Chain A
Amino acid sequence: MTEFLAAAIRIATPLLLAALGGILSERAGVFAVGLEGMMLAGAFAATIGAWAGGSAAAGIGLALAGGAVIGLAVAVVAVRWRADNMVTGLAANILALGLTSYLLRVAAGGGGRPASIHLPLLGPWPIPVLADLPVVGKLLFAQPPLTYLALLGCVAFTLFLGRTQAGLALCATGENPEAAFAAGADPLRVRMLAVIACGAVAGLGGAVLSLQQVGTFTDGMTGGRGYLALASLIVGRWTPFGAAAACLVFGAAEAFELRLQTFGVPVSSYIVQMAPYLIALAVLAVLGRSARLPAAIGRPLEQ
């Protein structure tokens, strides 16, 4: 059981970081459809950073930057030039897929073969004393660093959104940008920064995959996790802890499916792999109607 829960947390971690980023973007009023591309760019940049820089810290730093670059692209096109959020986000995802695959081959010195990079995985950092607690200790206090960061992120984002002037201005911009402007905020700036920050944080989510779980970068390695993160933040009602709970549910679903496979249940593995997405669809269908979107989401700013 502990192992099962540990697997759920492991799988939920990249989703949660991406969802946290998405919350910033959506609460500011920009649909976070580009999460997938931001994660992918982050995963790639982390791999290159850790490989070229020789340390995980360099990888994490570059992951923030890589995700932020995609965020910047979305911000310029969707916020500054007021293009449709959905189309821009999808385009960013396709762009990130092509760009990372191409750059991976460039990193190998050209020739069409992807670079072969193998990185040591970021191991658990057990917290003294707490890690020795039964059950909880292993689950919560003997995790790799980026998992702690995701949990701290929940607390930090909750405080930011609910208790700071900047958080208030961000939420106001997503609800009613004209009113936010009249109250002295700068909606254009708020949205630009929110989307760029969304990219950086989602990039960290990608870094979890490449640095903490796989140890290398492969083409399209996020495999739809960005969309699952998007579903999580909607199911979680645009709150960090709500999104965390949703990510854990999706993580548990995937962990369960892995177990089914190891026990040799005679069901096609492809069917089993659809499970988290089917759950996401079902949850969205049930909750979707009652979920209250930020009122001005997707609506471009008037000049």
Chain B
Amino acid sequence: MPDATVASPLLEMRGIVRSFGAVRANDGIDLDVQAGRILGLLGENGSGKSTLMKVLFGMLPPDAGSIVFRGRPLAGHRPAAAMAAGIAMIHQHFMLIDAMTVVDNVMLGWPEAGRVLRRAAMAARVREASRRFGLDLDPDAPVASLPLGRRQRVEILKAILRDAQLLILDEPTSNLAPSEVAGLLAILRRLRAEGRGIVFITHKMPEVLEVCDEVVVLRAGRVAGRTPVAGASPQQLAEMMVGRSVAAAPAPAAQAPGAVRLSVQGLTAPGLSGVTFALCGGEILGVAGVDGNGQIELAETLAGLRRARGGRITLDGRDITHASAAARVAAGLAYMPADRAHTALVRSMSVAENLMLRDSARPPYARGALLSPAGRRGRARTLMGEYDIRAAGPDTPAGRLSGGNQQKIVVARELDRRPAVLVAHQATWGLDPGATRFVLDRMLALRDGGAAVLYISSELEEVLAIGDRIAVLADGGFAGVVARAAADLPQIGLWMAGRAA
């Protein structure tokens, strides 16, 4: 950073320490952000990125350390003070009131909106800023009616209107469609050009390389490295994150598939228009496609959470079209939902309890009719070690864990059951490259053991890396299915664009 040393930085954080119980989430972190620059903040799940940003924004008090923003110290502050000083935070899970309109969300907690709200004047400012930045937001639209990409723009709009000089974006692209990502990066460049500083937290190397000026990598609560982006390679950054070399994505081993384990014929449901495929043991069918084309409907209908309107589903020859979710689980189906906050986990229950959810009636979780707390904890400790679930202990509530570690609970639970068929929907969502690799390896091992895997993901690269065959879901049906060896990217792109195109 030759030029960065000249000007005094917009933000200086020094020696930030923050512990949760025995875990030191931040262990003496220094961070500088310059005005007019985008800083990429990288790190594995649980490396302390979110904690650091929450400390900065006044949502968590640090145990030690100091913060200087625009030459003034920030200490013992709350979010209101951080915002007044000119810091805005765009959370991974948007901090918006869904039941309120865009302009109400903008006015909430903003002194300029007045004690008695000047709603019309604020709506005009929303419209004006929305036009200037190309955000395309209607001030009177209820937030609940907006797609995720638009909701994020509401958060950005809040920051712009409050004239924030530093924007923190926590994994802002993880729930955006590719076209929305491009739009977001364009907005970030524009904000940089206006001289604002940006902290951009992400796992996705291409985005880092595209938009960031420099990168700081955290590992286990400490700074593992800093580097300007110019001249850095994705490989090098990934290695900094995990502290060891990460091999390229695994090449699926070619092997003869076994007998058909899951057969789906003409499956229809609201959002699904006649899906047909057969999935063999020892095979992974990767399902690509833009989110919202029937992914959730397909996954939940297979799992028994939605009713099929027509068609037939058989598992190992047994008709399960109208079987309950529990009967499907008993028949050997495992399901990893995309929505881990609601469908996959009970956040208020402990890690150990979440791990036993599907198999609570069987040893080691139960002895006869009674649950066995000792068996549960023992098994949980084993799985936490095996799957690297970082929590204070088996009795920690699942909701306290970082997003990636929550996902690892789901992965551990479903894979530990040794299912005949696994339906995985966005199984690596929010996982860092090391953990992603680990999950993919586990699925390959499951496949090599003779199970069948349906791998649904909006990350095309991942689908291509793991699928033995690739299907593209568009408009509620398979637009095409192709063996991986014969996969042709332009053709897949056309399929993804949909039948409507």
Q: Which residues of A contact B (CB under 8 A)?
A: 163-166, 168-169, 171-172, 175-176, 178-186, 292, 294-295
- Which 10 A-B residue pairs are closest in the complex by CB-CB distance? A184-B80, A184-B109, A183-B109, A182-B95, A179-B95, A183-B108, A175-B97, A172-B97, A165-B115, A175-B99
Complex: A299 Cα to B483 Cα, angstroms:
50
Q: A residues within 8 A CB of B57?
A: 182
Interface of B is mostly: loop
Contact of A172 among B59, B83, B94, B108 (CB under 8 A): B108
Tell me, yes or no, whether B114 is within 8 Å of chain A by CB. yes
Contact of A184 among B79, B99, B105 (CB under 8 A): B79
Docked-complex contact B78 and A184, CB < 8 angstroms: yes
Tell me, yes or no, whether B116 is within 8 Å of chain A by CB. yes
Docked-complex contact B107 and A168, CB < 8 angstroms: yes
What are 14 A-B pairs with beta-carbon distances under 8 A?
A: A163-B116, A168-B117, A171-B97, A171-B100, A175-B97, A180-B97, A180-B109, A182-B59, A182-B95, A183-B95, A184-B79, A184-B84, A184-B108, A185-B109
Q: A residues within 8 A CB of B105?
A: 183
Contact of A165 among B83, B99, B107 (CB under 8 A): B107
Q: B residues within 8 A CB of A186?
A: 78, 80
How distant is B164 from chain A, measured CB to nearest CB, in Å? 13
Docked-complex contact B119 and A176, CB < 8 angstroms: no
Q: B residues within 8 A CB of A176?
A: 95-98
Name the residue of chain A whose CB is nearest to the CB of B82.
A184
Q: How many A-B residue pairs have CB under 8 A?
A: 75
Q: A residues within 8 A CB of B107?
A: 165, 168
Residue with the highest number of chain A CB atoms closer than 10 Å, among B105, B108, B110, B117: B108
Docked-complex contact A168 and B98, CB < 8 angstroms: no
Q: A residues within 8 A CB of B113?
A: 165
Interface residues on B, range: 20 to 34
Binary CB contact string for chain B from 69 to 81 against chain A (1 if under 8 A, 0 otherwise): 0000000001110
Binary CB contact string for chain B from 89 to 131 against chain A (1 if under 8 A, 0 otherwise): 1010011111110001101111101111101000000000000
Residue with the highest number of chain B CB atoms closer than 10 Å, among A165, A181, A184, A295: A184
How distant is B320 from chain A, measured CB to nearest CB, in Å? 32
Docked-complex contact B95 and A163, CB < 8 angstroms: no
Q: A residues within 8 A CB of B79?
A: 181-184
Complex: A163 Cα to B116 Cα, angstroms:
6
Complex: A168 Cα to B118 Cα, angstroms:
12
Complex: A180 Cα to B117 Cα, angstroms:
17
Q: B residues within 8 A CB of A166?
A: 115
Docked-complex contact A182 and B89, CB < 8 angstroms: yes
Q: A residues within 8 A CB of B114?
A: 165
Docked-complex contact A165 and B80, CB < 8 angstroms: no
Docked-complex contact B108 and A169, CB < 8 angstroms: yes
How distant is B53 from chain A, measured CB to nearest CB, in Å? 12
How distant is A33 from chain B, measured CB to nearest CB, in Å? 22
How distant is B119 from chain A, measured CB to nearest CB, in Å? 7
Docked-complex contact A168 and B116, CB < 8 angstroms: no
Contact of A163 among B94, B108, B110, B119 (CB under 8 A): B119
Contact of B104 among A168, A178, A295 (CB under 8 A): A168
Q: A residues within 8 A CB of B110?
A: 183-184
Complex: A137 Cα to B105 Cα, angstroms:
42
Residue with the highest number of chain B CB atoms closer than 10 Å, among A163, A169, A179, A185: A179
Docked-complex contact B115 and A185, CB < 8 angstroms: no
How distant is B358 from chain A, measured CB to nearest CB, in Å? 27
Complex: A96 Cα to B91 Cα, angstroms:
44
Complex: A186 Cα to B104 Cα, angstroms:
17
How distant is A302 from chain B, measured CB to nearest CB, in Å? 9
Complex: A169 Cα to B109 Cα, angstroms:
7
Complex: A163 Cα to B57 Cα, angstroms:
28
Docked-complex contact A165 and B59, CB < 8 angstroms: no
Complex: A157 Cα to B472 Cα, angstroms:
54
How distant is B278 from chain A, measured CB to nearest CB, in Å? 42
Name the residue of chain B whose CB is nearest to the CB of A163.
B117
Complex: A171 Cα to B105 Cα, angstroms:
11
How distant is A111 from chain B, measured CB to nearest CB, in Å? 52
Name the residue of chain A whose CB is nearest to the CB of B99.
A175
How distant is A84 from chain B, measured CB to nearest CB, in Å? 14
List 7 other contacts, CB 8 Å, given A169-B108, A176-B96: A164-B116, A165-B114, A175-B100, A179-B95, A182-B95, A183-B110, A292-B99
Q: A residues within 8 A CB of B97?
A: 171-172, 175-176, 179-180
How distant is A166 from chain B, measured CB to nearest CB, in Å? 7
Name the residue of chain A whose CB is nearest to the CB of B106.
A183
Complex: A246 Cα to B366 Cα, angstroms:
52
Docked-complex contact A178 and B95, CB < 8 angstroms: yes
Complex: A182 Cα to B89 Cα, angstroms:
8
Q: B residues within 8 A CB of A181?
A: 59, 79
Q: B residues within 8 A CB of A163?
A: 116-117, 119
Complex: A277 Cα to B99 Cα, angstroms:
31
Contact of A185 among B99, B108, B116 (CB under 8 A): B108
Docked-complex contact A180 and B108, CB < 8 angstroms: yes
Name the residue of chain A whose CB is nearest to the CB of B114.
A165
Complex: A294 Cα to B110 Cα, angstroms:
22
Known: A175-B97, A176-B98. A182 touches B91 (CB 8 A): yes
Q: A residues within 8 A CB of B119?
A: 163
Binary CB contact string for chain B from 403 to 432 against chain A (1 if under 8 A, 0 otherwise): 000000000000000000000000000000
Known: A180-B109, A183-B95. A172 touches B100 (CB 8 A): yes
Name the residue of chain A whose CB is nearest to the CB of B115.
A165
How distant is B294 from chain A, measured CB to nearest CB, in Å? 28
Complex: A245 Cα to B96 Cα, angstroms:
31
How distant is A23 from chain B, measured CB to nearest CB, in Å? 15
Docked-complex contact B95 and A164, CB < 8 angstroms: no
How distant is B111 from chain A, measured CB to nearest CB, in Å? 8
Complex: A197 Cα to B392 Cα, angstroms:
41
Docked-complex contact B78 and A295, CB < 8 angstroms: no
Complex: A169 Cα to B80 Cα, angstroms:
13
Complex: A185 Cα to B105 Cα, angstroms:
12
How distant is A139 from chain B, measured CB to nearest CB, in Å? 32
Q: B residues within 8 A CB of A292?
A: 99
Name the residue of chain A whose CB is nearest to the CB of B93.
A178
Contact of A175 among B59, B98, B117 (CB under 8 A): B98
Complex: A247 Cα to B114 Cα, angstroms:
33
Q: B residues within 8 A CB of A185?
A: 80, 108-109
Binary CB contact string for chain B from 162 to 195 against chain A (1 if under 8 A, 0 otherwise): 0000000000000000000000000000000000
Docked-complex contact A168 and B115, CB < 8 angstroms: no
Q: B residues within 8 A CB of A183?
A: 79, 95, 105, 108-110
